[in-house]
Amino acid sequence: MALLPILCYPDPKLHTVAAPVAAVDARIRTLVSDMLETMYEAKGIGLAATQVNVHERLIVIDVSEQRDAPLVLINPELLWTSEQTHLNEEGCLSVPGIYDGVMRHDAVKVQALDGNGQRRLIETDGLLAVCIQHEMDHLLGKVFVEYLSPLKRNRIKTKMLKAQREARS
Ligand code: NI
């Protein structure tokens, strides 16, 4: 088990499009356990491999209160999204301290492999549906701040770069 460094916006590597996982093997199982450890340590509810600079289609999520219900989605595919959408207040481990509203589908149906390489069908709504949409965006190289206005996004970019400069000095 190891904690992995999380890329911070506006790192251009966050815009890399992830490739499918070829096989759920020992390397992937190690990555899954390291990503779960990293997500729990950072007190996040989801983490995409993109955020730890691994550009393969893999997501870990835990939206449970007790932080004891890890969900692993490998090569996730959206099969269906509800027409109904709502504005959801979101944050991201790659954009620390920033929260803003994003329109998301209320419900989704997703097919993916789990951590054992077994095919799973997940039909869900609420926080889990939002989290899946947010994390799947990461695999396409998209960070939630890209849904905001250019003005807001530029302010966030400036704030992040300043914080990163201060952290280094
Ligand atoms: Ni995120």
166 is catalytic: no
Using CA atoms, how far residue 112 sits from 21, 71, 76, 81, 163, in Å, is: 11, 11, 4, 15, 36
Q: Around Cβ 26, how many Cβ atoms within 10 Å?
A: 8
Report the separation in Å between the CA atom of 136 and the middle of ligand 1, taken as the mean of its atom positions: 9
Report the separation in Å between the CA atom of 18 and the middle of ligand 1, taken as the mean of its atom positions: 15
What pLDDT is recorded for position 32? 98
The helix or strand, by DSSP H or E, that contains position 154, with its residue range, turns out to be helix 150-168
Candidates 146, 144, 138; CA nearest to 57 is 138
pLDDT digits (tens), the chain, 169 positions? 799 999 999 999 999 999 999 999 999 999 999 999 999 999 999 999 999 999 999 999 999 999 999 999 999 999 999 999 999 999 999 999 999 999 999 999 999 999 999 999 999 999 999 999 999 999 999 999 999 999 999 999 999 999 999 998 8
What pLDDT is recorded for position 141? 98
What pLDDT is recorded for position 125? 98
CB burial of 82-117 (b: ≥16 within 10 Å; e: otherwise) equals eeeeeebebebbbbeebebebebbebbebebbebee
**Tokens encoding 51:** 């955020």
| Catalytic residue (one of 56, 89, 90, 135) | 135
Report the separation in Å between the CA atom of 143 and the middle of ligand 1, taken as the mean of its atom positions: 6
Report the separation in Å between the CA atom of 71 and the middle of ligand 1, taken as the mean of its atom positions: 16
